[in-house]
Chain A
Amino acid sequence: MNTIPEQNFLTAEKGLKSWLTTLDHKRIGILYLISITFFFFVGGLFALMIRLELMFPQDEFFIKLDDFNQVFTLHGVIMIFLVIIPSVPAVLGNFVLPLQLGAKDVAFPRLNLASWYLYMFGASFALFSIFTGGVDTGWTFYAPYSTTIDRSVISMTMAVFIIGFSSIFTGLNFIVTIHKLRAPGMTWFRMPLFAWSIYATGILQVVATPVIGITVVLLVLERLLGIGIFDPTMGGDPVLFQHFFWFYSHPAVYIMILPGMGIISETITAMAHKNIFGYKAIAYSSLGIAFTSFLVWGHHMFVSGQSEFAAMVFSFLTFFVAIPSAIKVFNWIATLYKGSISLDTPMLYTFSFLILFTIGGLTGLFLGTLSVNVTLSDTYFVVAHFHYVMMGGSIIAFLAGLHYWWPKIWGRMYNEKLAKIACGMVFVGFNVTFISQFLLGLKGMPRRYATFTSEFAQLNGFSSWGAFLLGAGLLLTAIYLIHAVYKGKPAGNNPWGALTLEWTTSSPPPHNNFEKSPTAHYGPYDFDKIVVESTLDD
């Protein structure tokens, strides 16, 4: 029978103050988890409001036409800047990375806590903006609309600026941690692939995020002082804003998906009990994705009026991103071959990820093609595509990671039966929601419209019902995960029989992570050399 160790990081100190002043990377991860989950549900509520409005063709079925623009903007801003970008690195990266490396903490614990406070500070700006006029620009804040409307654009963009710095510091911290704090024996090529993906993500965070910082500063100055560099009537260039914006926001797509890909490398090996196929190919493809992502931002601007020659180059370069992404998918599939696969919840989410991400990635190739893009841009096809990548990729991978590491974080197991039901609801709900939107887009329904003609009614209705199912699945997930924290049955140190270092310490881990400093004697996935039994009771 498993028990919870009396001395662990959760019991090391007591009281709210000990949490708010903690320098322990595990506790900071949990602080992020709580705040991000809160905003995930706020963003989710906005999504359901959109789907309610679009359930039937009549105008103002649920919200006023004016408010509709605000609702989809807030859904986008909250989900992207407050949820998906920090989700995997800040929650699971914080909790798991030092454990996987055999380190006692991240390189700069105080900076780590400061990142969380910056995140909360930025989030409060976002909330302030919502209550003082909101924004209806779309999450992209395109000039000149964003520089001329009478709404609280400034506080929302300052939120983006501040959260950007939180993201920079997190990435910087992790890069240094990976360089300098690996345990003895933990060579670069003995690192778990999750650490590789966090490393690649860190590069993106550090290089790309300052550019969104200066972008929103320029936007604020444009509003306050009319500096004119985005204003065509003053000789400025609104398309320049889009260059600025997408130089960050395209790499940001990979800030969202790369850590998710790292999680999949972990769960797929642990659940198939098999060494990863093509370790180096997966590791290097993370860096390849990170590098290529800086060269393709113009594919968001094919219809913006940018030079056709630039569009051709950007379209051409875009296809190169497909190569490292495909390398990863093929290697994961090859890993499954002749594996001894357990169909636990993390594995079900992993399969969901493989299916959804492949669909999202392949439809990206349609959109990267110049001629097809002109037809499909600003339709629901685009909306469905990026939801397949961000929700079907990042969030599903995040859920896979949460289910995989939940017994490590709390020492307790969730109800597997409920988890599998919820996973099914999420998968079915998600596909119903967004396959309908692919079809809507192909039929020509434009995005960001509060109303539509009756020919789109049936598919929109489908989409809305799918969204409600998806929402119910996520709510169920939250309920049984929280229940497990208090009432779950103890899971033991290694419920999945995995080999990475975080499973060698107790669950929950002690304050200093390991009783004695670990040494990496073997690779992270050497299942052919070492046999570890699952510590789950049944």
Chain B
Amino acid sequence: MEASYSDRPKHLAHHFAESKQQYDSAKLGMWLFLLTEVLLFGGLFLAYSVFRAWYPETFVNANKELNVILGGLNTIVLITSSVTMALAIRSIQLDRKEATLKYLFVTLLFAFTFLVIKYFEYSHKFHEGQLPGKFYTFEGIDGTNPHIFFSVYFMMTGLHGLHILGGIGVITWMMIRVRKNEFSSQYYTPLELTGLYWHLVDMIWIYLFPMLYLIR
């Protein structure tokens, strides 16, 4: 099983017998990490569920303050960025490095677009005083404890936004590594793991959008 030392490709670490073992390990590790991400967000989903069940009226009324157009636009932006991310990986599988770079760059642009739209949403909320917890000053929502809705809203979208920021960093790093010719159809594991992460961030938004913007 063990290849002699000179046969070993550069990316293969010393404690693995062959590339497939290393690839499978990396992927398994990444999925376990994604599991931890789901449960990290899970705490916020729990907070949402508990308070939504306690204050249904508040949640329905407060939700009308969110901008469905901007939220929907962001959904479209993120889904499209997921497509371009998948295409970036497909391109490297076919050894098309230029295309990979191009798709990664587009993904990066979408990520920034998402954050810019989010910025406009946030600044509008800040302006209106629709802030979490004790900073809440808005007076236009019927129902008890409307600030709880905005606490949940800001925590969920905030944690998600941090993950987008992290994604931007990792994608940039991947672009540098593609430019340095580190990846080919023979080895692109880090790129694939980045893709998995990015799709998970997309997937979480797929839930956040109806839960926060579309309830009634």
Query: When A and B assemble into the complex, do they touch directly, with CB atoms less than 8 Å apart?
Result: yes
Q: How many Å lie between the Cα of A91 and that of B155 in the bound state? A: 36
- A221-B155, A240-B47 as given contacts; A176 in contact with B132, CB under 8 Å: no
Within 8 A of A (CB), among B5-38: 13-17, 21, 24-25, 28-29, 32-33, 35-37
Distance in Å: Cβ of A299 to nearest Cβ of chain B: 19
Interface residues of A in 263-305 (CB under 8 A from B): none
For the residues of B in contact with A, the DSSP-based class is: helix
> Which B106-161 residues sit within 8 Å CB-CB of chain A?
132-135, 144-145, 147-148, 151-152, 154-155
Residue among B15, B55, B151 having the largest count of chain A Cβ atoms under 10 Å: B15
Number of A-B contacts (CB under 8 A): 114
Cβ of B15 and Cβ of A109 under 8 Å apart? yes
What B residues does A211 contact at CB under 8 A?
Answer: 39-40, 42-43
Choose from B24, B50, B54, B147 the contact partner of A180 (Cβ within 8 Å).
B24
Looking at chain B, what size class is its interface with the partner chain? 35 or more
- CB of A207 within 8 A of chain B? yes
Known: A226-B135, A234-B133. A176 touches B42 (CB 8 A): no
Q: Taking the complex as formed, is B51 at the interface, i.e. its CB lies under 8 A from any CB of chain A?
A: yes
Given contacts A228-B133, A244-B43, contact A176 B32 (CB under 8 A): yes
Q: Would you call A103 and B15 a contact (CB within 8 A)? A: yes
Once the chains are docked, how many angstroms separate the CA of A207 from the CA of B134?
Answer: 32
Measured CB to CB, the closest approach of chain B to A420, in angstroms, equals: 38
Asked whether any CB of chain B lies closer than 8 Å to the CB of A16, the reply is no
Q: Report which residue of A173, A181, A215, A236 has the largest number of chain B beta carbons within 10 angstroms of its beta carbon.
A: A236
Q: Are B25 and A236 in contact (CB under 8 A)?
A: no
A228 touching B42, Cβ below 8 Å: no
A contacts with B: majority SS = helix
Q: Which residues of A contact B46 (CB under 8 A)?
A: 243-244
Say yes or no: is A469 at the interface (Cβ < 8 Å to chain B).
no
Among candidates A175, A214, A234, residue contacting B145 with C-beta atoms closer than 8 Å? A234
The answer, yes or no, to whether B79 is at the interface (CB within 8 Å) is no
Whether A234 pairs with B148 at a CB distance below 8 angstroms is yes
For residue A111, which residue of chain B has the nearest CB? Answer: B29
8 Å CB contact of A214 from B25, B40, B133 = B40
Q: A226-B135, A237-B50 are in contact. Are A214 and B44 (CB under 8 A)?
A: yes
Contact residues, A197-253 vs B (CB, 8 A): 206-211, 213-215, 218, 221-222, 225-229, 231, 234-237, 240, 243-244
Query: What are the 3 closest A-B residue pairs judged by CB atoms, nearest first?
Result: A235-B145, A214-B43, A226-B134
15 pairs, A vs B, C-beta closer than 8 Å: A172-B29, A176-B29, A180-B21, A181-B16, A210-B42, A210-B43, A218-B155, A222-B133, A228-B132, A229-B51, A231-B133, A234-B145, A234-B148, A237-B50, A244-B43
